Chains A and B, each alone.
Chain A
Amino acid sequence: MFPVKELKRSFLISIWFAFLTFPIMVIKVDPIERTVLWRWDNMFFIAFGSFVISILAKVYLLRKERRAGRKKAKKDIAEPFVQRILREPRFLYPLSLAVLVLALVFPMFFSTYQTNIMTTALMYVVLGLGLNIVVGVAGLLDLGYVAFYAVGAYSYALLNLHFGLGFWAVLPIGGLFAAFLGVLLGFPVLRLRGDYLAIVTLGFGEIIRLILENWNDFSQGPSGIANIPRPGFFGMDMSFASGITYIYYIVVALVIITIFVVNRLQNSRLGRAWLALREDEIACQAMGIDKTKTKLIAFSLGAFWAGFVGVIFAAKTTFVNPASFTFLESAIILSIVVLGGMGSIVGVIFGALILILMPEYLRALSEYRMLAFGGILVVMMVFKPDGIISNVRRSYRFKKHHSKEVIEP
């Protein structure tokens, strides 16, 4: 059943791993006793562990291949369970309603601490959905997304500091500022693709952060801006706890709006043009799609959501400084999109919840967070490169009065 060739391969892999990890896992220098500990048992565990894991991985891949073969022969079987649910409105609507109700009653049953964490996670859902437009749908790899987030946050902080503008006034302004900056970034990078685009956007993200860090007169430098007011509700005074619940509901509302808008955008003329742009730029232009315009719209719409969330972030933490907007933040948002499934709204929501909530609830393992993070991404890329929930292709139904026959998709 399992080929001997693969066993041999796994054996070689285990030896190679044992060799690679030899210096850190086997040798231990004790500086006080001035002795060297040789932990040979560790070597054995690593060799054995990597042997087993590589065999399991191979078995999984083989089974997946076989399943793919069967899928070609018989089409209906292989559609994954989740996708089937997403496609069927009769499951999808009650399910989304249940999730919505759950989200609405969440603060009543959980502590302020839990609500706060959930707010953060939902903010990343919006960020992920925003970046999804740029990376997932339009296929433009943007590594500097956090810059727009920073612009939103600083718009609120600065406009409030200098002009006393309130949260609700700044919310659209922050979004528009970020969108404007998206267009500004869009222009010079229009001709770039893939790696080059990634590098330029990465640089752009760093530029914004460095400006915020060093231009003291403008942004108060690394010390940041404190005492940013929380959002108001018709001038009502709110306790700390109810303030947090309030922000939670604002974010829930924002998530709903975002899902609605992004979904409609994806299934529109514009969304199709983005998809086509991702697939083949030259064919796209030859079909009469204005590459410049389409890309700029993608950039600015993506940035728009980041600006929104930035304003909320500033209001939630009541303090902003450049340290919140490092490259790591961009990387996390990008991981959400990639892990969740490029172009898939449900996937991105799952990705955000997993990547943000898991570290919060696994505080005990926080030292290994980055390790786990990297590990998960590698494993995902090998076994499920489309993400947790890949995008459901839309099929179109035809109305009777247009074509003579009605075809069932």
Chain B
Amino acid sequence: MSKAILNVKGLTKNFGGIKAIDKVDLDIHPGEIVALIGPNGAGKTTFFNCLTGIYTPSEGDITLRNPESGKETRLNGMKPNKITEQGMARTFQNIRLFPTMSVLENVMIGRHCRTKALIFGAVFRNPATRREEEEIIATSYDILKKVGLHKQVDEEARNLSYGAQRRLEIGRALATEPFLLLLDEPAAGMNPKETETLVTLIREICKEGHSILLIEHDMKLVMSLSDRIFVMDYGKKIAQGTPEEVRSNPAVIKAYLGEDVDA
């Protein structure tokens, strides 16, 4: 198997005396869809926040390896925007779009870290800037087509339906050209039909060469999509493996259903 693009070793995050994450190891290989599951409060979102630089981990190492250039970067303590530049983008559990900006502009923001026009370019609009701007619009539009929102480019993001907002968030993350995409509960609050569209979308994204790490509570989705599953409970990793292995793992059953009284 090729080398892991994300390698997490002994990641720990303390909030005062509480260990929100306790020595978690995780690795993702190119082209994989990996799921991170666990009961509410298990520390999944905190784990995401540590990876993406919103929190600084207390201990442990996070290493990102660009599959193309083979460049390895240690992410601990890096700013969120730098981490995104390295090629890892995320969506949020509680949707965080830019509500009063248009659908297209939301995706255009994602192109920010791959473009560079600043004050000079903005004021004088030299050919390079104009080309860049056209490139931003064209790429953003293509991404919107991919997530199925190209008919609503000028709509304000807050006017979109819930499922569409989730898809827009994924589109915005894709605009940053990530090789690893972190999805925090992408199917939360979706109806079955929307979930179905989402599953197809995630498969497509994966086929295009993006690896995916997702947090999700919808077990049907997790089991059908993921290549491997990591399970967390109370900040600790309690199991890992293929969907079949995890499903029959006694520790996982215990975490979700509680201890068997009769045993």
Interface residues of A (CB under 8 A from B): 261, 264-265, 268-273, 275-276, 279-280, 282-291, 297, 301, 393, 395-396, 398-399, 402-403, 407, 409
Contact = CB atoms under 8 A, between A and B. Distances in A.
A290 B79 CA distance: 9
Contacts of B96: 280, 282-283, 286
21 contacts: A264-B122, A264-B123, A269-B118, A269-B136, A270-B117, A272-B108, A275-B98, A280-B98, A282-B54, A282-B96, A283-B92, A283-B96, A285-B79, A286-B84, A286-B90, A287-B81, A287-B84, A287-B110, A396-B137, A402-B138, A403-B142
A396 B113 contact: no
Interface residues of B, number: 51
B97 interface: yes
B153 A289 contact: no
Contacts of A270: 117-119, 122
A407 B141 CA distance: 11
B45 to A, nearest CB: 13
B194 interface: no
B125 A264 contact: yes
A302 to B, nearest CB: 12
B115 interface: yes
A279 B100 contact: yes
Nearest to A275: B101
Contacts of A265: 119, 122-123
Given A264-B123, A272-B101, A287-B176, 8 more contacts: A268-B133, A279-B100, A283-B98, A285-B81, A285-B84, A286-B89, A288-B113, A403-B141
A269 B122 CA distance: 7
A393 B101 CA distance: 8
Interface of B: 52-54, 79-81, 84-85, 89-90, 92, 96-102, 104-105, 108-110, 112-115, 117-119, 121-123, 125, 129, 132-134, 136-138, 141-142, 150, 153-154, 156, 172-173, 175-176
B62 to A, nearest CB: 16
B84 A271 contact: no
Given A261-B123, A291-B81, A398 B98 contact: no
B122 A271 contact: yes
A279 B99 contact: yes
B245 to A, nearest CB: 32
Contacts of B52: 286
Q: 8 closest Cβ contacts across the A-B interface?
A: A288-B113, A268-B122, A402-B138, A288-B84, A283-B96, A285-B80, A279-B98, A395-B154
A181 to B, nearest CB: 17
Contact of B112 (A269, A279, A398): A269
A270 B118 CA distance: 6
B116 to A, nearest CB: 8
A31 B52 CA distance: 73
B14 to A, nearest CB: 21
Contacts of B97: 280, 283
B102 A289 contact: no
B138 A398 contact: yes
A297 B98 contact: no
A398 B141 contact: yes
Contacts of B122: 264-265, 268-271
A285 B133 CA distance: 21
Nearest to B84: A288
B138 A288 contact: no
A409 B154 contact: yes
Contacts of B150: 407
B89 A398 contact: no
Contacts of B123: 261, 264-265
Contacts of A271: 122
Nearest to A403: B141
A288 B137 contact: no
Nearest to B154: A395
| Residue among A265, A276, A280, A287 having the largest count of chain B Cβ atoms under 10 Å | A287
A275 B115 CA distance: 17
B109 A272 contact: yes
B134 to A, nearest CB: 6
Contacts of A301: 119
Given A269-B115, A287-B109, A393 B102 contact: yes
Contact of B138 (A268, A287, A291, A403): A403
A397 to B, nearest CB: 9
A280 B80 CA distance: 14
Nearest to A257: B123
A399 B134 contact: yes
Given A265-B123, A279-B100, A396-B137, A287 B113 contact: yes
A399 B139 CA distance: 12
Given A264-B123, A288-B176, A291-B81, A398 B118 contact: no
B85 A288 contact: yes
